[in-house]
Amino acid sequence: MVKKKDSYFELMMSGTGGQGIVLAGSLLAEAAYVAYEHAVYCPNYGAARRGGETECTVIFSNTEVFSPIKLQPMAAVVMSKMGCNQLSKRVHPEGVLLVDSSVVPDKIDRQDISVYYLPATKVADENGSAVMASLLMVGAYIQLTEALSLEVLYESLEKRLRGTRAEKLLSLNKKVMAEGAKIMKSMQCGS
């Protein structure tokens, strides 16, 4: 893949432990390194792991990244009510917020950002496992931003799962990411 020139993307993901937020963020960073000079991944989670609040920041760019800490990210994915309450207020004006409407029923009261509601957990569950909802959101983010191609994500996922017990879930993971991209594309066409 040809490295993109003069591109900068940042994404914060927030949810609860066990939703795959940390996995999705690290996968996105690994894939981004194929197309960008710099990729930074910074997870943040408590000792509780499953059920506790968790978040991660992913930044990829062709210019040097000086800090992974973003108080006002340009894009965010929220997959829990608590994460939504905190992160939705911090998204940079003119930024983007993707909300898992399966677990966050509230509407966001901000007119200065673009908000997309995707039933990620519901759709992922219908396609095999609710745990894959974070991958669905990554697929939607990639479709929205065109920061990477799904093929690059698939390649990173294949490398990560090759030789592991989870390798048997590869086609299902790809399907869920593609479903996220498909949902986002239909939302873009409808707006």
User: pTM of the entire structure?
Assistant: 0.91
> What pLDDT, on a 0 to 100 scale, did the predictor assign at position 6?
58
> What pLDDT, on a 0 to 100 scale, did the predictor assign at position 131?
85
Rounded average pLDDT over 145-158: 94
Q: Is 128 exposed, middle or buried (0-12, 13-18, 19+ CB in 10 A)?
A: middle
Give CA–CA dist 51/16, Å, rounded: 5
> For residues 43, 44, 46 and 49, what is the CA-based torsion angle, rounded to 10 degrees?
-30
pLDDT in tens, 121-150: 999 999 888 889 999 999 999 999 999 999
A 10 A CB-CB count for 1 gives: 11
In words, the CATH class of domain 8-190 is: alpha beta
pLDDT in tens, 55-98: 999 999 998 888 777 889 999 999 999 888 889 999 999 999 99
Q: What is the mean pLDDT of the chain?
A: 89
Q: Taking 90 as the threshold, does the pLDDT of residue 19 lie above it?
A: no
Rounded average pLDDT over 12-26: 91
> What pLDDT, on a 0 to 100 scale, did the predictor assign at position 49?
58
Q: Taking 60 as the threshold, does the pLDDT of residue 191 lie above it?
A: no
